[in-house]
Structure 1
Amino acid sequence: MAFSRRQFSALGAGVAAATLSGAPAAGAATRSSRPAVRNVVLVHGAYADGSSWAKVIPLLQAAGMNVTAVQNPLTSLADDVAATNFALARQDGPTILVAHSYGGTVISETGLAPNVTGLVYVAARAPEAGEDYAALAAKFPTPAVTAGIVTSGGFKWIGRSAFLKDFANGVPRKEALVLYAAQGLLSTAPPTTSVAAWHRKPSWYAVSKDDRTIDPELERFMAHRMNATTIEVDSGHLSLVTHPEAITRLILRAAANS
């Protein structure tokens, strides 16, 4: 569903009173109810690039936010952290840092930047400092996409069938094929964080209830562990593509309350 400019003005004004389900509250726009934070930095996950935020970006911009989408090289966690820190350094004030999937590892490492006021995790990893994420994930059911992951030359990616069926479940096939063509290859080097910024910054989490890439129960575990304000979306792993309005509302709520 597309939002008109008038509808999105109301969304931006009423987001401070939004419910946990993400529904915007009704009410006239007032200066005090506007989000105090105007900057949003978006961090994409593995097997993707910054274009995965293409449906969320215009909704945030229509709500008056300044948006930067990081292009992670995915060559190592250190390289992705550097790219995100560079994006954060270019912001002119308080900033909400948002991540999808593997990008959650990146913002857990970079989220202590002084201009970051809150963290939003979208079906994302949220590791503890020094935690072996693979060992944590092994305590939960193996997601379906795992069987389709290909490893070669120090990188891994998702084969076409698994990408369409499991990584992009719920995305129209034509659109999923475009995402498949643009997928980024992820380094096989273990991405271990030295800090967990969510201990010190307020956090929000969007669980994908039909996720076949990260087990939904693992998402709930991580969200609960970080004491995040949590919503659940009837979506596969790519809720930012299939449910951009819900994800946008969560980001705006974070901006209004951090």
Structure 2
Amino acid sequence: MTAPTVVLVHGAFADASSFAPVVADLLDDGITVLVPPVPNRSLSGDAAYLSSVLASIDGPVVLAGHSYGGAVITVAGVADNVKALVYLAGYALEEGESLGELQGRFPDSDLAAALRYTPYPVDGSTEPGTDVSVDVAKFPAIFAHDVDPDLARVLAVSQRPLAAAAFGEPASAAAWRTKPAWGVVASSDHTINPDVERFGYQRAGIRTTEIDSSHLVMLSHPREVADLIRTAIAAVTD
């Protein structure tokens, strides 16, 4: 099989730059990488956008998603050219399940008390949408306690919010049912309760690695994340 393209999908409160050290590691190894920007407007819309990106790729794909990006790859990962999934401190939803439903099975993380809500205009509607972000002052401790403090403060003021509607939208598919999958539990995660990650992975039969990390595992442990992606590549490459 042709060597796959690695597509990295960021989550809420982050953007494509959060994968920078992982991208550099993979590129140095001669691996083709793509990191598309996710709109973070709705689960169905974000998955549809990612599906269009996947359709533009000629050849197989290893699809990796961080945090909310895990929910997005769960839906979009049913694309024929996706050969493997990698979840990074992510949501492995069941078909018909929402982020809120999965999280609701477990105690809240520290994130719940640090969320901020801001209206934004919605095209064609007189009613505004609601953007969800993390209190800037609390962001480093909740999201990135093991990331360089100078970087964490930059990330805190450059968040890509998630529309509140995405939390209640059910997943229309569960790609892990038909695709091999690997996952990282960030065991010191204060953004997602690590038990949410563990439960989703165990239910889906995802091969799981635990890393003592903040939510931003790809920034604090980029080599381990890149190595896991290489493991997925090797497993689906002849």
TM-score, length of structure 1 as denominator length: 0.84
Letter in 2 for 1:197: A
Q: Which residue of 1 aligns with 2:95?
A: 129
CA distance in 2, matches of 1:88, 1:250: 21
Q: Which residue of 1 aligns with 2:210?
A: 232
Matches within 5 A, 1:136-147: 136-147=102-113
Residue 51 (str. 1) matches residue 17 (str. 2): yes
Deviation at 1:70, TM superposition (A): 1.3
- The question of whether the paired residues in 2 share the 8 Å contact of 1:72 and 1:79 is answered with no
CA distance in 2, matches of 1:79, 1:195: 13
Residue 163 (str. 1) matches residue 139 (str. 2): yes
**Deviations for 1:72-105, whole angstroms, at most 9, x for unmatched residues?**
1112223311321122122221110000000111
Q: Which residue of 2 aligns with 1:79?
A: 45
CA distance in 2, matches of 1:155, 1:63: 38
Q: Percent identity?
A: 39
**Deviations for 1:169-214, whole angstroms, at most 9, x for unmatched residues?**
2112100012122210111112321110101100000010100011
Q: Which residue of 1 aligns with 2:36?
A: 70
Letter in 2 for 1:179: L
1:181 pairs with one of 135, 141, 157: 157
Residue 251 (str. 1) matches residue 220 (str. 2): no
1:117 pairs with one of 83, 87, 97: 83
2:8 pairs with one of 16, 32, 42: 42
CA distance in 1, matches of 2:49, 2:17: 16
Q: Which residue of 2 aligns with 1:99?
A: 65
CA distance in 1, matches of 2:153, 2:89: 21
Deviation at 1:36, TM superposition (A): 5.7
Aligned residues between the structures? 224
- The question of whether the paired residues in 2 share the 8 Å contact of 1:207 and 1:220 is answered with yes
Aligned-partner SS, 1:231: strand
Letter in 2 for 1:91: I
- The question of whether the paired residues in 1 share the 8 Å contact of 2:94 and 2:174 is answered with yes
Deviation at 1:135, TM superposition (A): 2.5
Q: Which runs of 4+ in 1 moved over 6 A?
A: none
TM-score, length of structure 2 as denominator length: 0.90
CA distance in 1, matches of 2:97, 2:114: 25
Deviation at 1:132, TM superposition (A): 3.0
Q: Where does the alignment leave 5 or more consecutive residues of structure 1 unmatched?
A: 1-34
Letter in 2 for 1:164: P
- The question of whether the paired residues in 1 share the 8 Å contact of 2:146 and 2:214 is answered with yes
Q: Where does the alignment leave 5 or more consecutive residues of structure 2 unmatched?
A: 120-129
Deviation at 1:222, TM superposition (A): 1.0
CA RMSD in angstroms, aligned pairs only: 1.3
Residue 241 (str. 1) matches residue 207 (str. 2): no
Aligned-partner SS, 1:150: strand
